[in-house]
Amino acid sequence: MSERSNLPAVIDPATLPYLLTAGEAAALLRTTQKAIYPRAERGLLPGLVRDGRRVLVRRDELLRSLSEGRATSPEGHRR
């Protein structure tokens, strides 16, 4: 079974919940859920919210960063 969630190939952002799961964020970023966790650990996931060990992502912040064509950089690693 694929690591990608059951989301459709084309995603309407208006239908997504305010807080995305790692699987939903992965589908939106066209990557795997497994790739989301290292991004979160390195501070490269805009809108990150932690609930214990659970990784959630604020939909609006992630979409805004994508539309602006930028990604969050860890402190001291800006180009």
Name the residue ranges covered by the structural domains of the chain: 18-67
CA distance 28 to 9: 9
pLDDT tens string 43-76: 999 999 999 989 999 999 999 998 888 655 555 5
CATH fold, domain 18-67, is Molybdopterin biosynthesis moea protein, domain 2 (3.90.105)
Residue type, 24: E
Strand order in the sheet with 54-58: 19-21, 54-58, 48-51
Give whole-number Cα distances, 22 to 54, 55, 74, 76, 77, in Å: 8, 6, 20, 26, 24
Confidence of residue 78 (pLDDT cuts 50, 70, 90): very low
